[in-house]
Amino acid sequence: MKNRIFTGAATALVTPMNSDGSVNFARLTTLVDEQIRGGIDALVICGTTGEKSTLRYDEHVKVIEDSVKAAAGRVPIIAGTGSNDTVYSVELCADAEAAGADAFLMVAPYYNKTSQAGLVAHYNYIADRVNKPIILYNVPSRTGVAIKPETYKELSGHPNIVATKEANGDLSSVAQTKYLCGDDLDIYSGNDDQTIPIMSLGGIGVISVLSNIAPKVMHDMCEEYFRGNIDAARKLQLQHTGLINALFSDVNPIPVKEAMNMLGLSVGPCRLPLYPMAEAAKENLKNKLIECGLMP
């Protein structure tokens, strides 16, 4: 078995913004501390939820650097460094490593896409040139390309490729990946609503959006499952299903930032082209927060 980055729940952290759309670095550091004190097991910085796509390169690196400093070694910091440009990703990994990141999250190449052979070449090229472990990220609804189980099998032979975040929604594919890769590739759920199902297939946790507002819930869901308290874990999953659906009723991270602002967590707006939710969707989100006891 390869070195494991974390077990349990990691938050795909939002990047807080000021009202003018600039990064609120002061709020970022307090947000990291709040998450850790809330019981989260790891933090993913500058992923999809962190609006990586609209961060300038210098902002991207500074968000990672400031998050590492704020975490102060208490939990692993996983930096989103994936790109559809292989060489760019290597450069970003180097700067993220210099900033203190413990691991990398690498989304499959998007827009220009590639073949399965291209995925193998892309990820191996990067893995040969970095010194930190890599979590692959399979989210075909955003990238237009899916990492197939047989491709995972080939990639899992690289010592630096240690895990995947699975957000393809296909549990049969997850089962096949676990069957083929065994202990050579850890699997994290990339969808909050599939946390328990994926752990039942051998997954070791979740990279979560919900944990931005409920870190203890997601930590406890995983902890109860691993302790064998399956009913308690399932209860937490089902209790929060309506809220999870509301958090994905618009493009992530629009709803979760809206929810955080409703809860007084002061993370500001999303950057364009992400646009505020419709009023009806906001009202539904508010109601689900109330139902889950997160908002009076």
Output the DSSP codes for 86-120: HHHHHHHHHHHHHTT-SEEEEEPP-SS---HHHHH
Active site residue 52: no
Under a CB-based contact definition with an 8 Å cutoff, are residues 8 and 223 in contact? Answer: yes
CA distance 213 to 11: 10
Angle at 138 between CA 136 and CA 141, to 5 degrees: 155
The enclosing H or E element of 133 equals none
Phi, psi of 11 (to 5 degrees): -90, 125
Pairwise CA distance, residues 137 & 128, whole Å: 18
Catalytic residue among 52, 132, 165, 178: 165
- Coil, helix or strand for 132? coil
* 165 flagged as catalytic: yes
256 and 212 Cβ atoms separated by less than 8 Å: yes
**Residues 47, 48, 50: CA angle, nearest 5 degrees:** 65
In degrees and rounded to multiples of 5, residue 275 shows phi and psi of -125, 145
Structure tokens at 97: 């490593």
Active site residue: 123, 137, 152, 225, which one? 137
The total number of residues written for the chain in this structure? 296
What whole-number distance in Å separates Cα of residue 36 and Cα of residue 256?
Answer: 18
> Catalytic site residues?
137, 165
